[in-house]
Amino acid sequence: MNPNLTIRHKKSENFRRQLEEYAERLESLETFDLTAEGTYSLGAWFLGPKAENQGLLLELLKDALDDHCSYRREYFPEDPIWITPEVKDTPEYKKAVEKFKRYFGDMGDALMGSVPFFSYRYQGHMNWDITMPGLLGYFGAMLYNQNNVAAEASPITTVLEMKVGDDLCRMLGYHVPIKNEPAKITPWGHITCDGTVANMESMWACRNLKFYPVSLAEALRNESSLAAARYMTIRLPQGGRETLINLDTWQLLNLDPDEVLEFPTRIQEEYGISTSTLQTAFDNYNIQNLGFSQFYQLYLRGRVGFPVMFAPSTMHYSWPKSAAVLGLGSNNMIPVHVDLNARMEVNHLRSLLDAALANRQPVIMVVAVIGSTEESAVDPLSDIIALRKEYAQAGLVFPVHSDAAWGGYFASLLRRDPYAKADLSRRQFTPELSMSEYVNKQYRALKDANSITVDPHKAGYIPYPAGGLCYQNSAMRNLVSWFAPVVYHGGVDPTVGVYGIEGSKPGAAAAGVFLSHRVVRTNQSGYGQILGKSLFNSKRLYSAVITMADESDDFIVALFQRLPAQKQGLSPEKVKEQLEYIKTQIVPKTNDELIADHEAMTLLKELGSDQIIISYAFNFKQNGVLNPDVTAANNLNFEIFKLLSLAPPKFTRALLGESDSDVPTVPMIITQSSFDPAVYGQALVDDFRDRLGITEGDPSTPVNFLISTTMDPWLTDTAAGNFIPTLIAALKSAVEEAIGLVLTGQASGG
């Protein structure tokens, strides 16, 4: 082990004891207990679309600043000041302050050209307003600029991050033991800057986990310092036990993850070998030190095939990026086909696993996406977990990672509030809606995933940067640490900063998540209330969009998320009948009327995406005839996007003061993407083309589509009622304008 790390490790161990004492003191205070009751008023959680809570926010911001300034004055109050009245009276100081104010004001004016995420009219990417507790927690902690890379640089925010990690684990279904509860395996979570870093860390951990037994077996065979443990045994996935050094390379690459993660503890406890001794000997064989190329040449080449990873074709771009960074190669991040709902096809995954087994290719990980970022599709995680068990019996073992960066907080919809009363009056305004039974089944399977990415700065409504990663087995974090692979048996880690990819990271991010979770609990009464209302609103928006075109209009609209009648393969007449029901019995009704209509609510639950993103596209008619050309349809949808986005020139005109308003005036904001047959598969794209009436053009041409994400819990219950008709009017106006641009040859294409 690096001697500098050994010294730092001892310092961290001493500091850990102090942290444990501090954490126990905090645990006794309800204010810092993330298992205690939260609050229930949605109106108190956000600044509001028109800054209705400005007074409250100002009061609390002032409190945070006052506390911080008092802290500065009270820390050794006898110490001298520097910025004296005489300094403030100098010309240089006055000139600096004057310019400072002007520059700050100019920046503030420019920022008024920013994207108005807080508005009802923002229906674009995965963004909305941030919670006031999240903002205030971040602001209050930011004043202290704590660095969560090391506990001695962040004694308070490190503890807050550990509490947040536990709370995220609980929300996602992992069992976090209560104090003094015996548990062989405990989960662990921490804050990262974003989902990309969390995904990369999970791949890094899975890569190291896969190759750890190979390295350990070599170390046991060759290092005299490990002689006492040379003949240690391991439980095989198919049953029975075997001496580790007697296993061949393929067997070493396919051991149960929890058995592998227990090796360091067993070597220490059963054979009396210290973790530092193990680490020193292990370093000579570790992939972390050798690098993948040398490791492969020494221990894998000619014995097994090249390692692979599997994820749905809807995977986030961070997955091939991570494979490239880790030296595994983006080509070995193999896409799995998706079905017409954009969910992973389990049968295709099975065929890929069969090929890996036949070719003796180690499977580093299988990724299930719990909420794709463009279709809000939830992969069949429960089936993937079943496959993991099945293939383990056949000798192919792989960890499963759930990429729930977007979808993780929807797990709060399944968590009951132990403090909830029967009184429903605190459920304000918009009704809440649960997810479909299929989606709920996948969320209940999250607890069986080996690791989970979850981003508080997405559906947690937290300021950037705040991603997160949770491990089912806390020992897995040691695979991405530069310390000896020792697990602290209970209590507090020396720091959360030694694990993972990042070095310095803001303690303010952890504080923002912590305070938001304390006020808005991660259960049905808190985040479940926000997301349940947003789910309801998303389905109402879906209903309005899919029925917005009349026969007399010169356009049609197709939603990627098919109607239930279409999914069931019913006749065109039945599809039309269902559309008419939505148009007459759902779209014009008030929320109260819908709640009272069991049939309408039953259908509403089945509409739209698995979560709260809808994807759709338009096609135009010319002289009553539907356009058949894919390029013309793509141009139309790109023009609609340009009209309903803050892309230049609208943004730059506002920024430069060339428009009548200092703020954007786009009446609705959406985003866009495209369905590429090379990514999504030809069957999915052909189905969408058919529903758009596109019959001409190269079948391999990607098809542009538009995206609306509804994270607004108030959209259908504003002070003036349902706001969706206003959005539909703006959308329809943009469609008609875009058609004019296409037909007159003014569309620029995209």
pLDDT cut 70: percent of the chain above it: 91
Taking only the tens place, the pLDDT of each residue in 405-419 is: 999 999 999 999 998
The model's confidence at residue 487, banded by pLDDT at 50, 70 and 90, is very low
Taking only the tens place, the pLDDT of each residue in 203-230 is: 999 999 999 999 999 999 999 999 999 9
Q: Give the other-Cβ count within 10 Å of 353's Cβ.
A: 23
Closest by Cα among 584, 615, 638, 601 to 685: 615
> Who's near 530: CB < 8 A, 6+ residues apart?
42, 45, 461, 520, 713
Angle between helices 527-546 and 598-606 (to 10 degrees): 90
**Model pLDDT, residue 260:** 96
The model's confidence at residue 183, banded by pLDDT at 50, 70 and 90, is confident
Taking only the tens place, the pLDDT of each residue in 336-367 is: 999 999 999 999 999 999 999 999 999 999 99
Taking only the tens place, the pLDDT of each residue in 368-383 is: 999 999 999 999 999 9
**Model pLDDT, residue 488:** 41
Whether the per-residue pLDDT at 8 is higher than 60: the answer is no
Taking only the tens place, the pLDDT of each residue in 422-449 is: 554 445 557 788 899 999 999 999 999 9
Q: CA torsion, points 177, 183, 187, 190, in degrees to nearest 10?
A: 70
Closest by Cα among 566, 560, 633, 619 to 314: 560
Residue that wins the pLDDT comparison between 428 and 157: 157
Mean pLDDT (the chain, rounded): 91
Question: Helix (H) and strand (E) counts for the chain?
Answer: 28, 14
The model's confidence at residue 4, banded by pLDDT at 50, 70 and 90, is very low
Whether the per-residue pLDDT at 565 is higher than 80: the answer is yes
**Model pLDDT, residue 447:** 97
Closest by Cα among 441, 339, 454, 335 to 402: 454
**Model pLDDT, residue 746:** 86
DSSP 595-644: HT-HHHHHHHHHSS-SSSEEEEEEEEEETTEE--BHHHHHHHHHHHHHHT
* Whole-angstrom distance, CA of residue 285 vs CA of residue 452: 29
Q: What are phi and psi of 468, to 5 degrees?
A: -165, 155
> Who's near 366: CB < 8 A, 6+ residues apart?
309, 310, 311, 349, 384, 387, 388, 398, 399, 400, 401
Whether the per-residue pLDDT at 660 is higher than 60: the answer is no
* Whole-angstrom distance, CA of residue 36 vs CA of residue 38: 6
* Amino acid present at 742: V
* Pick from 8-12, 214-218, 498-502: least confident: 8-12
Taking only the tens place, the pLDDT of each residue in 66-122 is: 999 999 999 999 999 999 999 999 999 999 999 999 999 999 888 888 899 999 999
**Model pLDDT, residue 2:** 41
3-state secondary structure of 36: coil
